Structure formats: structure tokens, C-alpha cells
Amino acid sequence: MAHLPLPRTQPELRYVRSPVPVVFPDSALEPEHKSHLLLRTFLFRLLRAALGPEHSVGSEQFVYWNARDPKRALSPDAFVKLHVRDTAFPTWKTWENGGVPDLAVEILSPSDADGGTWAAKLERYSELGIRELVRFDRTAPEGQRIRVWDRVREDLIERIVGGDRAPCLTLGVDWIVRPVETEEIGLRLIDGEDRLLLVPEESERALRREAEARISALEEQLSRRS
């Protein structure tokens, strides 16, 4: 079977008009409450530690899905695209970066308290084509802090969630409400054996405690023998 020859040099191309650049901003000046910052950055580090470099994780980068309209954008507090190697992307353009994210997380802030604001954001997530959307509201009553939407037959519909724990279909673990650093109420991940997933510094502390416990047990055995 004959193969098409690959061009050795880029041919000179001409167009009927000059291109009109479309600017896709990579930042926005919006104040962020310190508690929101702590919960957001913890979740970002947790997802990166859990998934590793083979999967892309973002936090507050603009996600664009319309190459002609930069106003069609979202900036999730955290998002995941599976099986696309992580890079230092300034924005996420679905037509360049590997497609629509599989998972997005929104940590409710005062600006989202307006029901109309959230409804508009939900409409954009539906337009984006997100598979799983999680909304976390630390100020909500116990049992109502986690809300989840799934794409079912191309419809983004809210899942019934009972209590402060809900499965994450994208990652195969569960969302759970637990303390995060100095915050008594935060969003974390827990596996099927009820073990919390940890950020690197938590893993290091756990290893140190295990090592100290082993040393303490060994010293106790030695003292008994003597």
C-alpha cells in the first residue's frame, strides 16, 4: 500500500483575509476568602498526590470549550482530566488540551450564595459537557454539604446524596466531610477501606508516627529482656 509523502518544508500559504486574534484570558482579579483558599489548595494537592502525573489536575484555571467565544468559560476550584499527562497549563482549552474534564469541584463561596448565580454556573457546566460535578458547601447543615451532578444520557442531573459522604464515580473513591488542616469542615477523599487519602506532608507525618511507634515497641521489648 502506497503512503502519502510527508512534506519536507512548510509550503507558503495565503489566506483571503488576515486572522482576527481571539484572546482567552488566563487570570481574573477576584478576591478569595482565606478559608476558601485553604480548602481549594488542599483539594488540588490531594488530587495531584492521588492521581500522579499521568492525569491532569487543575485549580481555578479557566476552562474554555468554545474556540470562538472566550466568554464561554468556567474556573472550577478543582478539575480532573484522566489519561492526559499533567502539564503547567495556564488555561484549559478543550480543543487543545485533551478534551472536556471528567470531574469538576466547586467549593461554594459567598458569590455563589445567590441561587441565580449557581443556576447560571450549572448551565455552563452542562454546556461544557462535564461528566461529574461536585458542589461543597461548608456552611450547609450536616448531611447537605455535598451535592453531586452526573451526566446521564447527555443530561446533567443531580444525584440523591445521603449524608456527608458520596461516591466519586470518576475516581472510584468517596467524597467525605472531614477536617482539613485548620478548618473543622472540609472536603476530602476516602477509599473503600475507610482510609483517608493524604497529601504528601500528611503521608510523611504518618510514616514518622509509624517509625516512632516501632522504635518505642522495640525499646519496650529490650527493656523487658534486661
- Write out pLDDT tens, residues 77-132: 999 999 999 999 999 999 999 999 999 999 998 666 666 789 999 999 999 999 99
The pLDDT value given to residue 113: 62
Residue type, 13: L
User: Cell 483571503 appears where?
Assistant: 16
The CA distances from residue 153 to 131, 149, 150, 156, in Å, are 11, 13, 10, 8
The cell numbers describing 170, all together, are 470518576
Residues 136, 188 contacting (CB under 8 angstroms): no
Phi (first) and psi of residue 94, to 5 degrees: -60, -25
- The values of phi and psi at residue 33, to 5°, are -65, 145
User: What CATH number labels 34-195?
Assistant: 3.90.1570.10
| Cα(56)–Cα(44) distance, integer angstroms | 11
Residue type, 174: D
pLDDT tens-digit readout, 141-172: 999 999 999 999 999 999 999 999 999 999 99
Residue 57's pLDDT is what?
98
Give the global pTM. Answer: 0.82
**3-class DSSP assignment, residue 78:** strand
Q: What contacts 66, CB < 8 A, 6 or more positions away?
A: 72
Where does residue 194 fall: left (phi above 0), alpha (psi -120 to 50 degrees), or beta otherwise? left
Cell reading at 97: 488540551
Q: Is the pLDDT of residue 189 over 70?
A: yes
> Per-residue pLDDT for 28 more than 90?
no
Residue that the C-alpha cell 504528601 belongs to: 200
Instruction: Give the span between the Cα atoms of 214 and 148, in whole angstroms.
Output: 42
Average pLDDT of the segment spanning 37-58 = 97
Q: Is the dihedral of CA 30, 34, 40, 44 positive or negative?
A: positive
Confidence of residue 50 (pLDDT cuts 50, 70, 90): very high
